Amino acid sequence: MPVTVTIPRLGWNMEQGVFVGWLKQDGDTVRPGDLLFKLEGEKATEEIETLDGGTLRIPPDAPQPGATVAVGAVIGYLLQPGEADLPAAPDAPPVPASTAAQPDEPPTSPSVRRMLRERGIDPRALPGTGPGGRVTAEDVVRASTTVPAARQEPAISPRARRVAAELNVDYTRVRGTGRTGRIRERDIRVAAAPKGPAPTMAAALTPARKTIAARMLESQRTTAPVTLHAHPDATNLVNLREQFKTVARTDSARPVPSYTDFLIKLVGAALEQHPLLASRWTDDGIRPPDAIHIGVAVDVDSGLVVPVVRDVPKLGLREVAAQSRELIDRARGSRLTTRDMQGGCFTITNLGAYGIDTFTPIINPPECAILGVGRIDRKPVVQDDKIVARDQIALSLTFDHRIVDGAPAARFLQTICQLIENPGPYLST
């Protein structure tokens, strides 16, 4: 009997997800352990591994990329040796007329039909080179290269494509604000917003938005948050980064660490001196961390995700920068796994790029504290009875007063300030 391919549960509360796409083609031979398809859950997009082998059969009614699917839904089959095709099922629902091939359309496989839809190509305009005039993937690729540049679709994220369909927005007329002009979900929603006074309409809540809302409310209900602010001198930090830039101009293999990379490393050193700020509240008492893993808040299409840089004190600055860059790239490409966002004991959120000074970050439960980072601004200060220009960085530390009192939290923030003012010993590698 064929083995069914079903939608797994990626989290305890997950009831449905978003099907991102297949990683194998219809008819491919699949082995146990192969990555079969991508599924977006509450907070992450996972590449789903198969435990069985066989020949992949994708039925005509399988979900399309961007479709919402229920946990447990059957989306495909793995044919076992000796099975030529799926057994006939008398009670199987017929393929809807809207998805069936028109009489004058050439025969195509489901995967080729997806390629045709994605490229906006009419199959009736293609001479198929396969058996019996069948349109093949090579035919579609060849036709795509002849499509005028003006007809090529803009880069768009899977989520933005789905929202565009839901809101009836022609995304080919939308200007993207993502990297290299990529169209993001917020671009579609802005394009769909009424240009004048109109009745208020509720935006649909995505699984990711619901998860973010639940965690923020959990934080407010279960912690006693207090926020401290500081403005340490960051001149030496700025000068150090300029040195990295100078080296990178002659050695492109040595990328320039970001200010967030600097702070991950410095905060890791401060947490070693003040482990209480990395502890968590449990029913058995206050539990210290097993290791220093620091989360970094990243803004993506779906909202906010917090991938975790692991074992920070054991890493050099370049290793921290490489791990951080990889996690951020995966976050923006919807390739984070659930494990990438687990195990953190402290979080850093940086809004400095938006011109923000101090703010009140919300603790990421079950962690004890979070550091908000504002902009670096050049200001006049008194030094040796003279007014000089110095770079200052705005910091906001929110901590759980159930675990940490004000004085220990202030000492921790003071340590971070001291490390920022004299970063050399910690950021030289």
| CATH number, residue 283 | 3.30.559.10
Report the pLDDT averaged over residues 403-418: 97
The yes-or-no verdict on residue 118 having pLDDT over 70 is: no
Pairing of strands 303-305, 298-300: antiparallel
- For residues 231 and 140, membership in a common domain is answered with no
The yes-or-no verdict on residue 283 having pLDDT over 70 is: yes
The yes-or-no verdict on residue 134 having pLDDT over 90 is: no
- For residues 359 and 408, membership in a common domain is answered with yes
- For residues 160 and 135, membership in a common domain is answered with no
Name the residue with higher pLDDT: 429 or 268: 268
- For residues 138 and 255, membership in a common domain is answered with no
The domain boundary residue, chosen from 100, 118, 144: 144
CA distance 319 to 429: 9
Model confidence pLDDT, tens digit, residues 69-89: 888 899 999 988 877 666 554
- For residues 303 and 265, membership in a common domain is answered with yes
Report the pLDDT averaged over residues 207-215: 81
The domain boundary residue, chosen from 144, 164, 192: 144
- For residues 277 and 382, membership in a common domain is answered with yes
The yes-or-no verdict on residue 170 having pLDDT over 80 is: yes
CA distance 185 to 75: 26
pLDDT of residue 422: 94
Report the pLDDT averaged over residues 377-387: 91
The yes-or-no verdict on residue 109 having pLDDT over 70 is: no
Q: By percentage, how much of the chain surpasses pLDDT 70? A: 85
Q: What is the 3-state secondary structure (H, E, C) of the chain?
A: CCEEEECCCCCCCCCEEEEEEECCCCCCEECCCCEEEEEECCCCEEEEECCCCEEEECCCCCCCCCCEEECCCEEEEEECCCCCCCCCCCCCCCCCCCCCCCCCCCCCCHHHHHHHHHHCCCHHHCCCCCHHHCCCHHHHHHHHHHCCHHHCCCCECHHHHHHHHHHCCCHHHCCCCCHHHCECHHHHHHHHCCCCCCCCCCCCCCHHHHHHHHHHHHHHHHCCEEEEEECCECHHHHHHHHHHHHHHHHCCCCCCCCHHHHHHHHHHHHHHHCHHHHCEEECCEEECCCCCCEEECEEECCEEECCEECCHHHCCHHHHHHHHHHHHHHHHCCCCCCHHHCCCCEEEEECHHHCCCCCCCCCCCCCCEEEEEEEEEEEEEEECCEEEEEEEEEEEEEEECCCCCHHHHHHHHHHHHHHHHCCHHHCCC
Please list, in sequence order, all residues whose beta carbon lies within 8 angstroms of the beta carbon of residue 78, skipping any fewer than 6 positions away. 2, 3, 4, 5, 30, 50, 52, 53, 54, 55, 56, 57
Pairing of strands 369-383, 386-400: antiparallel
Pairing of strands 74-79, 3-6: antiparallel
Q: Where residue 265 falls among pLDDT bands split at 50, 70, 90?
A: very high
**How many domains is the chain built from?**
3
- For residues 395 and 278, membership in a common domain is answered with yes
Q: Are 79 and 86 in contact (CB under 8 A)?
A: yes
pLDDT of residue 98: 43
Tokens of 9: 């549960």
Q: Where residue 125 falls among pLDDT bands split at 50, 70, 90?
A: confident
- For residues 174 and 99, membership in a common domain is answered with no
- For residues 126 and 164, membership in a common domain is answered with no
pLDDT of residue 90: 43
The yes-or-no verdict on residue 224 having pLDDT over 50 is: yes
- For residues 312 and 350, membership in a common domain is answered with yes
Return mean pLDDT, the chain. Answer: 85
pLDDT of residue 418: 97
pLDDT of residue 251: 81
Please list, in sequence order, all residues whose beta carbon lies within 8 angstroms of the beta carbon of residue 238, skipping any fewer than 6 positions away. 376, 391
Q: How many residues make up the chain in this entry?
A: 429
Q: Where residue 149 falls among pLDDT bands split at 50, 70, 90?
A: very low
The yes-or-no verdict on residue 350 having pLDDT over 70 is: yes
- For residues 77 and 160, membership in a common domain is answered with no
Pairing of strands 280-282, 3-6: unpaired
Segment among 148-152, 203-207, 333-337, 371-375 with least mean pLDDT = 148-152
pLDDT of residue 127: 74
Report the pLDDT averaged over residues 102-124: 67
Burial of 180 (0-12, 13-18, 19+ CB in 10 A): exposed
- Residue 82's domain is classified under what CATH number? 2.40.50.100
pLDDT of residue 361: 96
- Domain range enclosing 108: 3-144
Segment among 35-49, 115-129, 177-191 with least mean pLDDT = 115-129
pLDDT of residue 102: 47
Report the pLDDT averaged over residues 36-64: 87
Tokens of 120: 């906006």
pLDDT of residue 215: 84
Q: Tell me, yes or no, if the pTM score tops 0.85.
A: no
pLDDT of residue 132: 64
Q: Are 196 and 346 in contact (CB under 8 A)?
A: no
- For residues 303 and 394, membership in a common domain is answered with yes
pLDDT of residue 51: 87
Q: By percentage, how much of the chain surpasses pLDDT 90? A: 43
pLDDT of residue 119: 67
Report the pLDDT averaged over residues 208-224: 86
- Residue 166's domain is classified under what CATH number? 4.10.320.10
pLDDT of residue 151: 47
pLDDT of residue 248: 86
